[in-house]
A and B are shown apart, each in its own frame.
Chain A
Amino acid sequence: MSVFYEKFDRHSHGEGLKGHSTHYCPGCGHGIVHRELAESIEALGIQDRTVLVSPVGCSVFAYYYFDVGNTQAPHGRAPVVGLGHKLANPESIVISYQGDGDLASIGLAETIATAQMGLPITVIFINNAIYGMTGGQLAPTSLMGQKTATSPDGRNQNMGSPIRMAELIAQLDGPVYVERVALFDPKQRIKARKAIEKALRIQKEGRGYAFVEVLAECPTHLKKSPEDTEKWVKECMTPIFPLGVLKDKSAETEPWWDRKAPSFAPEKVLGLMGVDTEPAERHAKGFPDHFKCVDISFKLAGSGGDGAQTAALLLARTAIDEGFDATHIPSYGPESRGGTSYADVHLAKDEVLNPAAPDPHVLLAFNAPSLTKFAPQVREGGVIIYDSTIITDPGVLPAGRTVYGVPFTGIATQLQRPMVKNIVALGALQAATHLFPAESFMATLRTVLKDKAALLPLNEAAFAAGQNAVGSPVS
C-alpha cells in the first residue's frame, strides 16, 4: 500500500477523516481501480519513475492519493500531457487515468491520436456510463434507453449509441495491448488487477502503448445501491461492452523505446543550422552609390515556380555577404504552385528601415500580369527588367524608367534547364543595374550550392548568359 500517501494532505489539507478517506462516493469503482493501480505500481517497482496524469472528471483528484509524480491535465488532454512527460523524460512511466467524458468525448481526438502514435504510455479508462463530477449527465458510453440528467427520457437514436472505445483503440495500429475488464465480482477484480499490471509492464519494458478499459460502478448517479450497480454493470453493460482482451501484441513486440538524452553540443547545433565560420568573400568596393540613396528596393514578381523568391534571397544574401543590411519578404497566393509569387527586397547601407517595396527602384517581372501590376509602381529613374520570352508585348510602360526585355525563359531553355531562368534574370539584373560586381553574385552561388557543387556550372552559365543578354534598353 506504500504507493498511496500515508496521509492525503492534498485532500482538504488532510484535515480530519479526509486525511485517509477518498473523495469518492460509497461503492465507487474508482477506489478499487486506484488500489489495483497502486498495487501494480508497487509490484513492478516503478513508484519513483511514475508520472500520473489526473484528468477532469471524478478522478480529477487522483493526485490526492498516489505517492508518485503528479500532474493534472485540462479536460480531455491527459494523454497528450502524458506524451509531453514521456518525451521529456523517456525513463518515466506515464499513466493517463481518464473517465468516459474525458477520454471518449472531449478528448477523443487526443485519445485516438495518442493511441495511434503508439508511444509507450498506459491509459486507464474508467467507463461507468455516466458523468459523475458534473452530476449524472449523458456519457458517450451511456446505454441506449439510459436515463440521465441530460437524457431524461432515456438515451435515444437522436443521441447516437454508446461508443465502444476498447474496440476503437484495438483496431488502431499503435497500441500493443487493449483489454476491457470489470469490477463487479471477485473474479473480475482479479482480472482487472492483472490487466493493469500488464499494461504497466508493457510500458516499463518499452514495448508500446497499452489501454485498459474498466467497466466501473457509479452507484450515486445510476441511482442504485452498490450491489445493484454491480449487477447492472454485469447484466446491462457487458452485453454492449464485452469483456476480454481485444488486442495483445505485447509478446511479439520487441522492446523498442530507447531515446537518448538531447545534445547540447554547440558545433552540432551550428552545423545543423548551416552556420559558416569562415567570413564571406567580398568583391564590392562599397555600397552602390549610383542609385543615389542609402536604401535600394526591388520587386521580383512572377508565378509560383518562376523562382522569384530564390532570386530574391540570393540578391539579399549577396548584399549581406558584402557587409550591408538586406531584407526579403515573400508573398504568395494560396496555391503551392502556379499562383502569384512576389518578393520585396531591400538593400541598405546601414539598416533597412522599411522592408516593404511599394515603390521599388528595380522591378524584375517574370510574366505579363506582374509587369502590368508593378511597372507603374517603379520610381522615376528606376529600372524594369522583364522576361521577353514570356512577355512578347510589354504594352505601354511608364516613362522615365529604363526598361530591358531579356529572354529569361529562352536562355534557360537553351541551357536545357528552364528552372534556371531566375538565375538568368539575376545575371540580367546585375548587368542592367551594376549593383555589385558579378563576382559578388558568383560567391553567393558558390556558398549556397556548396553541398550541390554539381549544379554550380549550370548556374554560372545561366548567370553569365543573363548578363550578356542585356543589350540596350527597350526604352
Chain B
Amino acid sequence: MAIPASQRPKPFLEPEYCKGCLRCIDACPKECITEGDAINAATGLVPVNLNLDNCNGCQLCVQACPEPYGLRPQAGPVATDAHGDFDLEDPKNLFGAKETGAPVAKAQPSEEIPLPLGQPMVLKGTYASALGALLAGCRHVFGYPITPSTEGAELMAKVLPKLDGAFVQAVSEVAAINMMYGCSGAGLPCMTFTSSPGFSLMLEGISYMIGAELPGVIVNVMRGGPGLGNIAPEQADLKLMTRGLGHGNTHAIVLAPATPQEMLDLSRKAFELSFKYRNPVIIAADGYLGQMTGVVKLPATMTKPGLPEWAVWGDREHRGNLICSIFLSEPDLEAHNVKLLAKYDAMKAEAMFDTYRTGDADVLLVACNTPARMAKGAVEDLRAQGIKAGLFRPITIWPFPIEGLKPLLPQVKRLVMVEASPGQLEDELRLALSHAGLACPPITPVQRYGGILPQQTEIVAAVLKGGAR
C-alpha cells in the first residue's frame, strides 16, 4: 500500500556531508534543491540548499546522492509539521543506536584426533606432503599443474571431494595463490603445490598474504632455471624463498625436507607454524624429493582445524574483521612493519637442523634437501678414508639455524657447501655467520646447476682435492 505523500519521509542533509556534486538537483522532480552559494567552513565545499515546501518524499534525491551520510530519508516518525521544517540533528538521534553491532569474535581452538595405528606407507614425496597436509586439517587446495609438483595436486583432486573439501585447478598460479588468500582469510588451512616458474608467479600473492598476516602453505618443488629451464631438480629458488618473497618487508619460514618422511612431517608442521605466526610457510623441496618414493610413517594424531578469531568467515561473529594489507598513513604502515619484524624475530625460535657424525668432525659438509643425502653418503666414504667428516643439515633455511652451527665451529677447519645452486645456501650461511658475529671458516663449494645434483663421488673428490675460498 502506497504511503501518502504527506507521510513519506523527507530528505535530510547535514551540510558538511554534502560535497556539492549537484546530482540531486536533476533527480528532484519538484525543484526543491538548488545549487548552494555559501562555502561550508568545515569542508571548503559548497553544499546544496534544500527547500522542502514542495517535497513529496519521493526519495529520488536520496538515490542520487553518492554519500552514505549525505542526503538521507528522515527515519522514525515523520515530523508533525507537514511543511517539513527540519532542524539539523545528530544522525544517531535520528536513527537510533544500530541494532546489530558486530560482536567480538573468539577463537575456536583446533582439535587433535588420535589416528588408528597404520603401517608404514611407501609414498612419493609429493604424496607424503599431501598426506601431511590432510593430517594437518587442510581440506582446501588450490593449484596449477606444473612438473615436477603436479602429483600433489592430482592426489588432492582425487581425495578432497570425498572428504567434502575442495581442490580447484586455478586459471594460473596467480589465481591459485589468491584463492589461498581468500580461503585463508576465512580462517581455514589451505595450500598449493608448485614448482619454480609457478612459484615466481605466486610471489605477488605471497607478499599480500604476509602483509595481511594470512597463513597458508606453499610447497615449491624446485626445478632447473632460470626461465623455463627444465624439470630436473635444482635448489636455485632458495634466494627467492629466503630473501625475495615479493615486494616489501617479507619473510616466511622456509622448511627444507630431505626425505619423503620429512615431506609429511614438515608439511604438517608447516600448517602449525603458519597459523601460529599468521604468516605463509614455504616448503622448499627439490625435484628429486617430489618424485622420490620412500618409507613414510604416520603420526599418532591428526588435526581438526578450529577457526581463528580474526577470520572473515561470513557470519555475525566475525563480521567486524578485515583482511587487508593497506596502511595508508605512513606511521600506521611503519607500525605494521615493526610488528612484522618482531614476528620475524620470534620465528627465529623455530630454527631446525640435523647433524650426522659431527661429534669430532673437522670437515663439515653443509647441505639441505636431496643433496644433503648425497652429502651423507659422502660423509661415510670420507670417514672410510680416515677423514673426520660430518654433515650439518639446515631444516629451516630461513631462519638459518645458526645456533646449531655455532658449537661446531671451533673444531671445524673447513666447510663444504654442497648445493644444486650457485651458492644460494652458502649466501644464507655467510649472512647468518656475519649477523652472529662469527668468523667464516674456509669454504669448499660443491655446486651443480641446471638440474644436476652434486653426486656423492664428486663431493668426496672435492673434499680430497682440498682447496677453499
Binding site for B on A (CB under 8 A): 1-2, 4, 6, 10, 12, 17, 20-22, 24-32, 34-36, 38, 47-51, 53-54, 60-61, 63, 65, 67-74, 77, 80-89, 91-94, 109-110, 112-113, 185-186, 189-190, 193, 219, 225-227, 230, 259-264, 266-270, 272-280, 313, 316-317, 320, 325-331, 334, 352-356, 358-359
CA distance A13 to B380 in the complex (A): 63
Q: Which residues of B contact A85 (CB under 8 A)?
A: 182-183, 185-186, 312, 314
Q: Are A84 and B183 within 8 A (Cβ)?
A: yes
Q: How far is the CB of B285 from chain A (nearest CB, A)?
A: 13
Contact B122 A88 (CB under 8 A): no
- How distant is the Cα of A100 from the Cα of B115 in the complex, in angstroms? 50
* Pairwise interchain contact B185-A327, C-beta atoms closer than 8 A: no
Contacts of A352 on B, CB cut-off 8 Å?
Answer: 294, 373
Could you give 7 example pairs across A and B, Cβ below 8 Å? Answer: A17-B42, A49-B315, A81-B185, A110-B178, A260-B164, A269-B135, A325-B294
Q: In the docked arrangement, what's the CA distance between A359 and B64, Å? A: 80
Residue of A nearest to B317 (CB): A48
- Complex Cα distance, B65 from A65, in Å, reads 15
A-contacting residues of B (Cβ < 8 Å)?
A: 16-17, 19-23, 25-27, 42-43, 45, 60, 63-70, 72, 91-92, 95, 98-100, 102, 113-122, 124, 131, 134-135, 137, 139-140, 142, 158-159, 162-166, 168, 170-172, 174-175, 178-188, 190, 204-205, 208, 212, 231-232, 260, 288, 291-295, 298, 302, 304, 312-316, 318-319, 321-326, 328-329, 370, 373-374, 376-380, 453, 455-457
Residue in A closest to B178 when the chains form the complex, CB atoms: A77
Q: Which residues of A contact B25 (CB under 8 A)?
A: 227
Residues of B within 8 A of A25 (CB): 19
Q: Output the residue of A61, A80, A320, A326 with the most chain B CB within 10 A.
A: A80
Contacting A74 at CB < 8 Å: which of B16, B204, B304?
A: B204
Looking across the interface, which residue of chain A has its beta carbon closest to that of B454? A356
**Beyond the given A72-B325, A80-B175, A186-B63, could you list 5 further A-B residue pairs with CB under 8 A, ordered by the A residue number?**
A1-B68, A27-B19, A32-B63, A70-B321, A267-B116
Task: Please give, as numbers and ranges, the residues of chain B lying within 8 Å of A30 by CB-CB distance.
Answer: 66
The residue on B at minimum CB distance from A46 is B314
Measured between C-beta atoms, what is the minimum distance from A233 to chain B in Å? 12
- Chain A residue numbers with a CB within 8 Å of B64 are 32, 186, 189
Q: A354 contacts B182, CB within 8 Å? A: no
Binding site of A, secondary structure by majority: helix, strand, loop or mixed? Answer: mixed
B68/A34 in contact, CB under 8 A: yes
The reply to whether B312 and A227 contact each other, CB–CB distance below 8 Å, is no
User: Which residues of B lie under 8 Å from residue A53 when comparing CB positions?
Assistant: 182
Closest chain A residue, CB of each to CB of B325 = A72
Given contacts A35-B68, A92-B314, A329-B291, contact A227 B22 (CB under 8 A): yes
Q: A262–B65 Cα gap in the complex (Å)? A: 45
Q: In the complex, A60 Cα to B325 Cα: how many Å?
A: 11
- Known contacts A72-B324, A72-B325: A356-B455 contact under CB 8 Å: yes
8 closest A-B pairs by CB = A84-B182, A92-B314, A31-B66, A354-B377, A27-B21, A88-B186, A113-B171, A84-B183
State whether B292 touches A327 (Cβ < 8 A): yes
Chain A residues with CB under 8 A of B26: 185, 227, 230
The residues of A that contact B20 with a CB separation of less than 8 Å are 26
